[in-house]
Amino acid sequence: MRAPNPGELISGNTSIQAATSQVFTEVGEEAVILHLKDGVYYGLDPIGTRIWKLIQQPIMINQLQAILLEEYDVDAEVCRCDLLELLDELSSHNLIEISDEIID
C-alpha cells in the first residue's frame, strides 16, 4: 500500500485499511486512536468507531458503504458523502492506508 494523500479517496473501488502506525481502544461505544508517529490521540463517535472496526482489514469503499447502508437508516448519498468525508479526514492524519488494488 502507498501513503495516503488527502482528497484522494474518489473511487468506490479504492481499498482502505487502518494504518499500522496506530493503536486504538474502545471507551464505551467510542474509539480512541493513538497515532504512534506523532503521538496525537483521535476520537471517533459510535458510527466512526463502527467504520474503524470495519477497516482493520482491507475493504473497498463500495463494500464499506453497503455494510453501513444495511446497518443504519440513512440515505445512500448522505452515507457516501459522510463516509468519504470521514475517510478523507483519517487520510489527512495518516491513519489509513489507501490502495487501488481490487480485493476479492
What average pLDDT score do residues 55-75 get?
Answer: 96
The mean of the pLDDT values for the chain is 88
Q: What is the architecture, at CATH level 2, of domain 15-99?
A: Alpha-Beta Complex (3.90)
Domains in the chain: boundaries: 15-99
Comparing 77 with 99, which gets the higher pLDDT?
77
Task: Calculate the CA dihedral of residues 5, 84, 100, 57 and round it to 10 degrees.
Answer: 100
| Global pTM value | 0.84
What is the mean pLDDT of the segment spanning 20-26?
93
pLDDT at 40 over 90: yes
What's the rounded mean pLDDT across residues 28-40? 94
Across the beta sheet with 15-18, the strand order is 59-60, 15-18, 96-99
